[in-house]
Amino acid sequence: MRREYASGRWRYAVGTPAREHPQYEKALGIARKRRFNPWWIRSVGDVEAVLEGCWMDEAKGERVCQFFENVLRHTKDRFAGQPFLLIDWQRYDLLIPLFGWRRLHPEFGLEVRRFTRGSMWIPKKQGKTETCSGLALHGIGGGGSAGAVVLSAAGSRDQAKLIFNGAAKMVRRSPALQRSLEILRNIILYEKGDGTFQPVSAESGLQEGWDWSALLFDELHVQKTRTLWDTLSGGGAARLEPLQFAISTSGVYDPEAIGWEVWEYARQVREGIVSDTGYFALQYYAEKDSDWREARTWRRANPSLGITVAESFYAGQLKEALASPAKQNMFRRYYLNIWVQSAERWLNMERWEACGGAVDRGALRGRNCFAGIDLSQKIDFTSVVLVFPPDGGRLDGMDEPDGLWRVLPFFWLPAEMVETRMRQGQEFYGRWVENGLLEATPGNVVDYGLVREVLFGLADEFQIIEAPFDQYKATQLTTELMARGFPCVEFRQGAPSFHAPMVELEGLVESGLLAHGGNPILRWMADNLVVRRVGPNENMAPDRKSSKGKIDGMVAMLMGLGRAIVAQEAGFAYTGM
């Protein structure tokens, strides 16, 4: 192990440190009782996994490492023909965690791998392709189950064959693999275990019907559509412990692209925003605001620096990049793993987390509030967020001692959409429903009748001064609400309306004068929110198209806050319903 690795230089890549989880000590105690090394509880996701019953079997992970080092041979340049001696990050960040973490299968009670899905994001020249070729060979000849089917997938035939060709070269250089594997034109056969490994691509047409045991998706960032990803994703459903694994560098930001979607999901798992203990997330990259010209930035992003690639290589690439803006973007993408032309997250999420103090619903009973309503087209989130001014809603300047603005969010989604999201691997939707944070209305559309009755119930519980909504999404629901005296008001969706509440919310978050109760759905949406700036004054508005995911609850919150600001500036004392 290199001194740089032992010092924790690349520690960030595996996720938010485990010690930041409130039940870290409990997880350590469980590890000691189960007699596995607590060192492997490295991220908040690992803590969650241990609490769910997972454990580390280091010996199983080490067996995969031994397969690499004792059976495989390098195929390129000065390493060609040499044993595949693992770099520390390959051993401790990838192979042992990926194969050593275990759990009991929820239905069959058998021991299986903890991880069945995942992604690794790493700059170029770090040994990525050969590592993935080794994973493929292990899948069919080193530890695969009977009838193993391993696929390497990519958008083009040439890209899909990179991992395959690397594996074929490894077989030719390994006497042990030559005895058990046969290389044909586009397939490697493992006769003893009836296993196969082959490349597939989008250029070959729809790839349906695969019963794969391992799916290695290469360079996901260049995938033009999500068709191949979606078509292949369900292929491992019948396997006891399938592995769907994406390997990629960063790309050009596109909020609709599957590459960005998977990057963002991996980031949210790493940071503990989304709890998904079955998803393996590993991301090496330079900080966005770091100086890309400095060697220390290169070292942070590239865990194989000095082994697979020399620092002088980056120095040469830097000279070219300094003379060309286009090459600067390439340098950031390929060698620092930074998405270029990407929209920035709007809010400081550390500050947002600090505003997660409890919101006592009972104590707010009878208080004045503003109910932002963001309606869906019936197949997506419908959100209502109550915004309570700090003065008790009396708008008379009589602030509470803490001066906090408080919010209460409510969310609805069609039950069939919840099931769809869960099948796509987003299990947190189900947890939100189980925890009473998200109401799944029966069928495939939101039941606005249920939403209407909840709103009238809230009007009995609180003094709703105004209920701003988007006229563009106005439905029969708003017509019915207004007919019964509910104080609906139109809130235009442009920057002139949103700028003031967005500036205000930024200030509340930075100063700690917001209390959102730590609601995980609202937190997820806050993290997704990207802004667009309009006109010479760069007025702000939420950018639904560029945002990384759903932001409906934040839009509802901003509408409620916007109307509260208008009311405060007018100095009126409303009486509500």
Task: List domains and CATH numbers for the chain.
Answer: 3-284 (3.40.50.300), 349-570 (3.30.420.240)
pLDDT of residue 422: 86
Question: Tokens 């700036």 correspond to what residue?
Answer: 533
Identity of the residue numbered 172: R
Name 185's Cβ contacts closer than 8 Å, sequence gap at least 6.
Answer: none
Residues of the chain with pLDDT > 90: what percent? 57
Q: pLDDT tens across 347-363, in order?
A: 888 889 899 888 999 99
Least confident piece of the model among 44-48, 190-194, 279-283, 428-432: 190-194
Region 400-424: what's the mean pLDDT? Answer: 87
Q: How far apart are the first and last CA of the chain?
A: 68
Give me the mean pLDDT over the 183-206 stretch: 82
Tell me which residue has tokens 């960063």. 250
Distance, in Å, from the CA atom of 39 to the CA atom of 31, rounded to the nearest integer, reads: 9
Res 204: pLDDT: 60
* pLDDT confidence of residue 393: 45
Residue-level pLDDT at 575: 45
Distances (CA, A) of 264 to 142, 255, 281: 32, 10, 10
pLDDT tens-digit series, residues 443-464: 888 888 888 899 999 999 999 9
Average pLDDT for residues 80-90, to the nearest whole number? Answer: 93
Residue 288: predicted pLDDT: 80
Check pLDDT > 80 for residue 144: no
Please give the Cα distance from 530 to 513 (Å, whole number).
Answer: 22
When the pLDDT of each residue in the chain is averaged and rounded to a whole number, the result is 88
Q: Positive or negative, the Cα torsion across 149, 153, 156, 160?
A: negative
Look at residues 467, 531, 465 and name the one whose alpha carbon lies nearest to residue 498: 531
List the structure tokens of 518: 């730590």
Give me the mean pLDDT over the 530-550 stretch: 78
pLDDT at residue 207, as a whole number: 62
Greater model confidence, 532 or 507: 507
Whole-prediction pTM value? 0.67
Which pairing describes strands 117-121 and 279-283: parallel, antiparallel, or unpaired?
Answer: parallel
pLDDT recorded at residue 147? 87
* pLDDT at 341 (0 to 100): 62
Joined together, the tokens standing for residue 239 give: 């396997």
Handedness of CA 131, 134, 136, 139 (dihedral sign): negative
531-534 vs 539-542, strand pairing mode: antiparallel
Instruction: Determine the pLDDT at residue 395.
Output: 42
Q: Average pLDDT for residues 195-211, to the nearest whole number?
A: 78
Q: For residue 390, is pLDDT > 50?
A: yes
**H helix runs in 120-254, sequence order:** 128-137, 157-173, 175-178, 227-233
Q: At what angle do helices 128-137 and 157-173 cross, to 10 degrees?
A: 70
On whether the CB atoms of residues 339 and 375 are closer than 8 A, the answer is no
- Going through 315-404 in order, the beta strands assigned E by DSSP cover 368-374, 382-388
d(CA 336, CA 224): 22
d(Cα 128, Cα 250) in Å, to the nearest integer? Answer: 13
SS3 label, residue 438? coil
Q: Which of 143-157, 251-265, 298-312 has the highest mean pLDDT?
A: 298-312
d(CA 295, CA 272): 30
d(CA 39, CA 25): 12
pLDDT at residue number 396: 43
Per-residue DSSP letters for 105-159? -TTT--EEES-SEEEEE--TTSSHHHHHHHHHHIIIIISPPTT-EEEEEESSHHH
Length of the chain, in residues:
577
Segment 311-330 mean pLDDT: 82
Provide the 8-state DSSP code for 49.
H
Cβ-in-10-Å burial (0-12, 13-18, 19+) of 480 comes to middle
549: number of CA atoms within 13 Å, CB side?
Answer: 22
Residue that has been written with the tokens 């950031």 in this structure: 332
Provide the pLDDT for residue 18. Answer: 96
Which range, 42-56, 163-177, 205-219, 535-549, has the best average confidence (pLDDT)?
Answer: 42-56
Q: Which pLDDT score is estimated for 223?
A: 80
Instruction: Give the Cα separation of 410 and 527 in Å (integer).
Output: 18
% the chain with pLDDT above 70: 92
213/215 Cα distance (integer angstroms): 7
DSSP state of 305: B
Between CA 311 and CA 292 the distance in angstroms is 14
Residue 193's pLDDT band (boundaries 50, 70, 90)? low
Q: Which residue has the higher pLDDT, 167 or 327?
A: 167
**8 Å CB contact between 75 and 170:** yes
Q: 3-state DSSP: the chain helix, strand, coil percent, rounded to 5?
A: 45, 20, 40
| 29's tokens | 């105690």
Confidence of residue 329 (pLDDT cuts 50, 70, 90): confident
pLDDT for 51: 97
Q: For residues 24 and 533, which has the higher predicted lDDT (pLDDT)?
A: 24
